[in-house]
Amino acid sequence: MIRAALLAGSMLATAPLAAQHHSAHGGKPAAQPAPEQEMDHCAIGHLPPEECAPREEPQPAPKPEIDHCAMGHLPPEKCPPKAGPESVTEMDDGMAGMDHSSHGSMTDKSAPGAAAEEAVPARALEGPRHAADAIWGREAMELSREQLARENGGMTTGMVLIERLEARIATDGGEHGYLWDVQGWYGGDIDRFVLKTEGEGGFGGELEDAEIQALYSRAIGPYFDLQAGVRFDPEPDSLTHLVLGVQGLAPYMFHVDGALFLSDRGDLTARIEAEYDQKITQRLILQPRIEAEFAAQDIPERGIGAGITKVEPGLRLRYEIVPEFAPYVGIEYEAKAGETADIARANGNDPDGLKAVIGLRVWF
């Protein structure tokens, strides 16, 4: 009986607490259940097709219209006229408000008679030659000009090239001999002094031909030098010549050396040499070479007739151990021509012959 009274009392005490509103205590409201999504029984296939509404098929995107006039598919008379330059585009409208007064001094290069862009105005050539001297002083600018001259062809350097130093072995039983062909120069890229010498002779015999040239060389372009000076021949007889020639690099990398010689006896002769270096490897080089000589008149004391006097084509194969030192082997055919060949035959000499050569090319 007492237990029943206690239980009834506790129930009456808790009833007011359960009736209180707790929303102000910061507690989270109870989550509401999410509504269930309606199932598409037609899409899943639970219903037959006749009980389902017809589906709407997606429409394809419209194709862009082809401008047959712009593509040239239609003749011009069937196309509408194009808008002329008087039509104003949106960009033109936006630029119409810009201030173009500063463009008035600009030259219209598209206008007829407009000066070329590289043209130098006359006023640029007026005034003192060294205007910077007035600002920096003559002494300071003179040092700058000297340095500029050294860096642009004014630096003096020198070189000696032994182009051919070789033994020549006759393959037809003739006389074996030797030959040298050397040149050196000292100066700048524009002006330089050039010294050339060449000659040949027989082993155990006398010197047959020799010459020395002292020349002033002046660059007349990026690839050629004009040369003038004197030539002295100690053999076969003492003779002096005036020299005028050109030397340089012809198109396709041909090395060319040509000159006219006027002797103190009034004899006019000429010589031209051409050679080409064909690299087989970085060190192995094949060099075709040809030399031809000419005379404007007969020179009986030298056994020379007018016209082409001699032609020497040759082929040399050299190996550059280093670029400055290269031994070589080769062959060369020497042939006197025209009246000079007739003079040689009359004297009992063979006018032509084939020789094997072995030699050295050195420069420093």
Q: Tell me, yes or no, whether 131 lies in a domain.
A: no
Question: For the chain, what is the domain count?
Answer: 1
pTM of the model: 0.61
Contact 287, 264 (CB under 8 A): no
User: Looking up tokens 């051409």, which residue turns up?
Assistant: 274
Is the per-residue pLDDT at 13 higher than 60? no
Q: Tell me, yes or no, whether 290 lies in a domain.
A: yes
Q: Tell me, yes or no, whether 168 lies in a domain.
A: yes
Over residues 73-112, the pLDDT tens digits come to: 666 666 776 654 444 444 444 444 455 444 444 445 445 6
3-class secondary structure per residue, 169-202: EECCCCCCEEEEEEEEEEECCCEEEEEEEEEEEE
CATH label of the domain that carries residue 318: 2.40.160.40
User: Looking up tokens 């173009």, which residue turns up?
Assistant: 100
Q: Tell me, yes or no, whether 197 lies in a domain.
A: yes
Q: Tell me, yes or no, whether 124 lies in a domain.
A: no
Q: Tell me, yes or no, whether 76 lies in a domain.
A: no
Distance CA 14, CA 20 (A): 11
User: Looking up tokens 């029984």, which residue turns up?
Assistant: 41
Contact 208, 236 (CB under 8 A): yes
Distance CA 116, CA 6 (A): 120
Tokens of 139: 């002494």
Over residues 308-355, the pLDDT tens digits come to: 999 999 999 999 999 999 999 999 999 999 999 999 999 888 899 999
Residue count of the chain, please give it: 364
Q: DSSP class of residue 155?
A: -
* Whole-number average pLDDT of the chain: 81
Provide the residue range defining the domain that includes 196. 157-363
Q: Tell me, yes or no, whether 170 lies in a domain.
A: yes
Q: Tell me, yes or no, whether 232 lies in a domain.
A: yes
Look at residue 49 in the predicted model and tell me its pLDDT: 67
Beta bridge partners of 224: 248
